[in-house]
Chains A and B, each alone.
Chain A
């Protein structure tokens, strides 16, 4: 989930190429729609997005999809965001990130 279509679509495609089923959304509504339809293991969220931010989005998604894990992937590393992100006991990564590093963190998060 990211407001940059180019980024989020490409990343989803690359993850798919590595055998990870990934859907992407560039708006909160779309994200909710997907979350209701499917049962996801993990969501990668941008922190800074227009209208609805990553932290808020995470809380809403948690309600829809129980047991969903999260990774923050953001272009901005402000201290407040970092603290909020870290406090939720999830990974907090700063763009640009190497795809292998991301996959590793995903596995770590899912406890594999």
Chain B
């Protein structure tokens, strides 16, 4: 459904005034009176120009702050990971160094002394804590001496992979395992070369309690947790969300890197995570810190939501303002254009009227001359009859001549009225007698009124002075109003014209008919150009719009009230640029009397005053 059709369905109350103006699809005014198009473009362009930058800025701001916030999080995580890695490395190095110290401080023999070994373990426990047992293994892989809670004396480790490894690298730190004790612990072993070319291995177990303390003591934002896994992804320390000790971790093991790294793990289901990790050198351990990205971004997101909310409100406010303003402007434009059309048509109409006037005057002149000859000839005949008794006594002949003269007079009245009307077409301001004007106008319509048996009553108040106005315009105004009334009246109807003084030197003229009336809907548009209910019957829809314009031009005001089926009343209010009424005796006696002129054939005529 096209936009305007959709908008046509909005209630009339909210529809702008110009909306009902039909678009002119063809002709030279195609782009002049397309108010809907102008409105649409005005709204589109202004909202585009004002909203687009706002939206773009918000989008850019959103992206930039998101990126910087994310990189900030990564940086922070990376710092925590590398700090923790350092303390874990230090923790292991400390224990390794303790064992190194022992092998350097004691001879092989001293270490093989079980009592001495027990003292060493006690000292280790006191100094470092967490040491479980200690043993010395000779080059063949057999445990020579052992002190601890288990009977491991003489155990053979020669085939164990860790033993082979310690031979290769000199130091070995094991994964965490449960072993016999059923508590997670790990093994630290170091190889010590003897001066005779032989060697032995000092092996101690350390429980992971301290390890765990180190990690759980970290304060991590974003529901973060720190734990250690080995290279197979087996958890070495407990984790809150990713499984217990020695369970397989629920997230993939990050790839090897010699440095601290932070990656963002976007999971399609569930929350995205930020994972910081570091491989701890010379051990199987990988330190991991996992944070919930959503939690970390929450403060940023809250600020964004506020900003976007602000944007939405701004957009609504801007749109409302733009719509209101565009509607107001286009309405004003519509009004101005209406006026312009009216002026154009009035000019055209005035031109037309002027040419008709000139034509009428020409015709009247042409007719007047032969008419004058007929008049004089007939007059002469009558003169002869009166002088020469021979014919003068014949009433038939005198009657014939009189009838000719009477007819000539009638013709003269008509042509004179025509001339008088045409004469005022191009007159400007002059003293006007309202009564004269009204009668002059009615003079044109006498015949029609007679044929249709329309009863015309004229009541012009006596106290209306002669005033300065444009006689031609007044004539047109009343002619249009009376014509309009005639169109509404059915045969035998009644037309009342009343004129009376109003406060503040104004004259109110009421043209009232008891014709078909005007519907409320039509009444609203009655003074608009081209609005006609009689288009099919030859109405141009210009009469009343021109009347309206003319009334405005003489500084007046026109109003209409109508009840459908009962009749219509036009009120014209004309300001008086007052001028004392000339003391014309004729009018002095007639004026003010209720001047009832019923125009039935054979009765009164309206030639008086013309």
Q: Which of B369, B375, B379, B424 has the most CB of A within 10 A?
A: B369
Which listed segment binds B: A32-40, A58-66, A94-102?
A94-102
One digit per residue, 1 when the CB lies within 8 angstroms of any chain B CB and 0 when it does not, for chain A 36-74 equals: 000000000000100000000000000000000000000
Asked whether any CB of chain B lies closer than 8 Å to the CB of A11, the reply is yes
Flag if B377 contacts A6 (CB, 8 Å).
yes
One digit per residue, 1 when the CB lies within 8 angstroms of any chain B CB and 0 when it does not, for chain A 6-45 equals: 1100110110010000000000000000000000000000
Flag if B369 contacts A75 (CB, 8 Å).
yes
Flag if B361 contacts A78 (CB, 8 Å).
yes
Given contacts A14-B379, A96-B375, contact A75 B368 (CB under 8 A): yes
One digit per residue, 1 when the CB lies within 8 angstroms of any chain A CB and 0 when it does not, for chain B 375-386 equals: 111011001000
B368: chain A residues at CB < 8 Å are 75-76, 94-96
Given contacts A7-B373, A95-B372, A97-B372, contact A76 B408 (CB under 8 A): no
* Nearest-Cβ distance from residue A95 to partner chain B, whole angstroms: 4
Asked whether any CB of chain B lies closer than 8 Å to the CB of A104, the reply is no
Q: Provide the main secondary structure of the chain B interface.
A: helix
| Residues in chain A within 8 A of chain B (CB atoms) | 4, 6-7, 10-11, 13-14, 17, 48, 75-79, 82, 94-99
The residue from B361, B365, B409, B423 contacting A96, defined by CB atoms under 8 A apart: B409
B550: chain A residues at CB < 8 Å are none
* Nearest-Cβ distance from residue A78 to partner chain B, whole angstroms: 6
Asked whether any CB of chain A lies closer than 8 Å to the CB of B92, the reply is no
Flag if A96 contacts B420 (CB, 8 Å).
no
Task: Determine the residue in chain B with the shortest Cβ distance to A3.
Answer: B369
Asked whether any CB of chain A lies closer than 8 Å to the CB of B233, the reply is no
Asked whether any CB of chain A lies closer than 8 Å to the CB of B419, the reply is yes
The 7 closest A-B pairs by CB, nearest first: A75-B368, A95-B372, A76-B365, A96-B375, A10-B376, A77-B419, A96-B372
A96: chain B residues at CB < 8 Å are 368, 371-372, 374-376, 408-409, 411-412
Task: Determine the residue in chain B with the shortest Cβ distance to A13.
Answer: B380
A98: chain B residues at CB < 8 Å are 375, 409
Question: With A and B bound together, what is the CA distance between A48 and B419 in angstroms?
Answer: 15
Interface residue ranges of B330-372 to A (CB < 8 Å): 361, 364-366, 368-369, 371-372
Question: With A and B bound together, what is the CA distance between A82 and B427 in angstroms?
Answer: 12
Flag if A76 contacts B364 (CB, 8 Å).
yes
Asked whether any CB of chain A lies closer than 8 Å to the CB of B194, the reply is no
A77: chain B residues at CB < 8 Å are 361, 364-365, 416, 419-420, 423
Asked whether any CB of chain A lies closer than 8 Å to the CB of B1, the reply is no
Seed contacts A4-B369, A77-B361, A95-B412; 13 additional CB < 8 Å A-B pairs = A10-B373, A10-B377, A10-B380, A76-B364, A76-B365, A76-B368, A77-B364, A78-B361, A95-B372, A96-B372, A96-B409, A98-B409, A99-B379
* Nearest-Cβ distance from residue A87 to partner chain B, whole angstroms: 14
Given contacts A75-B365, A95-B368, A96-B408, contact A4 B426 (CB under 8 A): no
One digit per residue, 1 when the CB lies within 8 angstroms of any chain A CB and 0 when it does not, for chain B 516-539 equals: 000000000000000000000000
Asked whether any CB of chain A lies closer than 8 Å to the CB of B387, the reply is yes
Question: With A and B bound together, what is the CA distance between A17 and B385 in angstroms?
Answer: 12
B412: chain A residues at CB < 8 Å are 94-97
Question: With A and B bound together, what is the CA distance between A95 and B420 in angstroms?
Answer: 13
Question: With A and B bound together, what is the CA distance between A25 and B442 in angstroms?
Answer: 40
Q: Which of A11, A48, A96 has the most CB of B within 10 A?
A: A96
Task: Determine the residue in chain B with the shortest Cβ distance to A16.
Answer: B383
* Nearest-Cβ distance from residue A104 to partner chain B, whole angstroms: 15
* Nearest-Cβ distance from residue A112 to partner chain B, whole angstroms: 21
Flag if B372 contacts A4 (CB, 8 Å).
yes
* Nearest-Cβ distance from residue B211 to partner chain A, whole angstroms: 120
Flag if A14 contacts B380 (CB, 8 Å).
yes
Task: Determine the residue in chain B with the shortest Cβ distance to A81.
Answer: B423
Question: With A and B bound together, what is the CA distance between A76 and B420 in angstroms?
Answer: 10
B380: chain A residues at CB < 8 Å are 10, 13-14, 17
The residue from B372, B408, B409 contacting A75, defined by CB atoms under 8 A apart: B372
Flag if A14 contacts B365 (CB, 8 Å).
no
